[in-house]
A and B are shown apart, each in its own frame.
Chain A
């Protein structure tokens, strides 16, 4: 029988952080009805992850020897997955016990395509509460990033949310062709959200407890972000609403 939710975690090294990320995910999943699973994509870790490192039988490992882009890695992980909903999760995001329940509560409502979550830095400042778009070269950015803020509603609608913690139904994900693999690392999540909206579905960001996000621990991300940003702007400039 297929599971209700499958977390897809693309990770390189940082074994202990990944282990804690999985622990938090499964603790949060205890509050959810239906079974859950997780696919860990070992993206060319210098010392490969071992099945024995994750004794939970709900964790499946997918090893890549060559470093693969986030989009391609996620798409391949989803290919073998039969879960109803997918949760793309970064290895440095530690979910709160109530996160998954709240995301599923609001994310499975008719018309909602993608669900993100408020995320906090370890010191309590906001890391993510939705993505807004600035004029000209500014493009997409995280609203209220680095500020001390509290959510004012259970959820809000945005044009995009971060892929660090992003839930989407598998059917919709496959219908729109998954992540665009032209992006090396970064902004493929925003691209996905915009395509979801083009498909007539909403993107929301949910107040889902206090999940924590350390952000960009993996080395080499910044350089890759630059080429992704260039591609994103070529593709989407003037096609989004300026709301930031």
Chain B
């Protein structure tokens, strides 16, 4: 290995990954150390990893990949670790960008939150529910842990201010080819749902149904992603209901399911009025903008038409402020109890 290579460890988890692994390994050739953690692959995965000079480690098949990620985070020699999945890869200028990031923020940060492009059924999905899809994948060894679940975000163990978030456009991205078709998407969703862990207490099928509505609303973005967005939103909503039924059966089918369909769904939604935490900022901006417009209109001397306009803006401003106040109270209460 040359000395000019970046002193960093790349960790990749594989399972029958011959189709995508070469692209990924090619894209991280500049990293000094590459560790492939393989789960009993039956194809050419190991041969490919050897060809690229990766260190091979093996692990038995587990239902949830995130549960075993922590076991291998300390295996590398280097201070900085980049964790990637076998269906992900980096761009041609990644080396230059990563070098720049570590030089500039390496002292003050323990981890980098990197946006991710998700490609589903031959299309890069740009709706807010799929993009920028920030992931903590580049971090100082020992500073990040995963929880035992599928596709849950990793967590920084030091302090939130030590996390450097990369904001698109024009920054490093992880490129993720999630699913080549809708059928593959369905297959994986079912597998993840069946393999997930469900709590022993607090089951409510109503809540799963409410989440399904939320998911649909959250995921649907036909403007950005066309008809595929409708298909994905439907599948994500369906996934919530399926999970509810799996949970119900695992707890011995004790609760009634029927109740779920006799309720006004939105009343038990996690996010009342269909506003998500990320939207509060937008609402705040909206209120500020209305306030400025109001100030301007009030400064113009007495014209009748303007007075009417001012009245309507004032009403809108009051409404937005009330809504913002309610949302803030709600999220404050939620974080206090959570």
Contact = CB atoms under 8 A, between A and B. Distances in A.
B93 A68 contact: yes
A223 interface: no
Interface size class on chain B is 10 to 19
A46 interface: yes
Contact of B97 (A47, A66, A76): A66
Nearest to B173: A65
Nearest to A66: B170
A67 B96 CA distance: 12
A63 B91 contact: yes
B171 interface: yes
Consensus secondary structure, chain A interface: loop
A57 to B, nearest CB: 15
A52 interface: yes
B122 A52 contact: yes
B117 interface: yes
Contacts of B93: 64-66, 68, 76
A45 to B, nearest CB: 9
A101 interface: no
* Most-contacted residue by chain B among A47, A50, A63, A68 (CB, 10 A): A63
A64 B124 contact: no
B122 A50 contact: yes
B300 interface: no
Contacts of A44: 169-170
Nearest to A65: B91
Interface residues of A, number: 14
A63 B175 contact: yes
A66 B90 CA distance: 12
A233 interface: no
B1 interface: no
Contact of B92 (A46, A47, A50, A76): A76
Interface in A85-115: none
B291 interface: no
A48 interface: yes
A75 to B, nearest CB: 12
B169 A48 contact: no
Interface string A51-74: 010000000001111111000000
A15 to B, nearest CB: 11
B94 A65 contact: yes
Interface string A8-50: 0000000000000000000000000000000000001011101
Contacts of B171: 65-66
Interface in B55-110: 91-94, 96-97
A68 B172 CA distance: 13
Contacts of B92: 62-64, 76
Nearest to B100: A66
A178 B43 CA distance: 42
Given A65-B93, A68-B93, A46 B169 contact: yes
A50 B97 contact: no
A49 to B, nearest CB: 9
A48 B175 contact: yes
B126 interface: yes
Nearest to B90: A65
Nearest to A43: B93
Contacts of A63: 91-92, 175
Given A44-B169, A44-B170, A48-B175, A64 B91 contact: yes
B283 interface: no
Contact of B170 (A47, A52, A62, A65): A65
B210 to A, nearest CB: 32
Interface string B315-326: 000000000000
B170 A67 contact: yes
Nearest to B23: A51
Contacts of A50: 119, 122-124
Nearest to A79: B92
A62 B123 CA distance: 18
* Most-contacted residue by chain B among A65, A66, A76 (CB, 10 A): A65
Interface in B166-219: 169-173, 175
Interface in B253-278: none
Interface of B: 91-94, 96-97, 117, 119, 122-124, 126, 169-173, 175
Closest 4 CB pairs of A and B: A65-B91, A63-B91, A64-B93, A62-B92
18 contacts: A46-B169, A48-B124, A50-B119, A50-B122, A62-B92, A63-B92, A64-B92, A64-B93, A65-B91, A65-B94, A65-B97, A65-B170, A66-B96, A66-B171, A66-B172, A67-B170, A68-B93, A76-B92
Given A63-B175, A64-B92, A65-B94, 15 more contacts: A44-B169, A48-B124, A50-B124, A64-B93, A65-B91, A65-B97, A65-B171, A65-B172, A65-B173, A66-B96, A66-B170, A66-B171, A66-B172, A68-B93, A76-B93
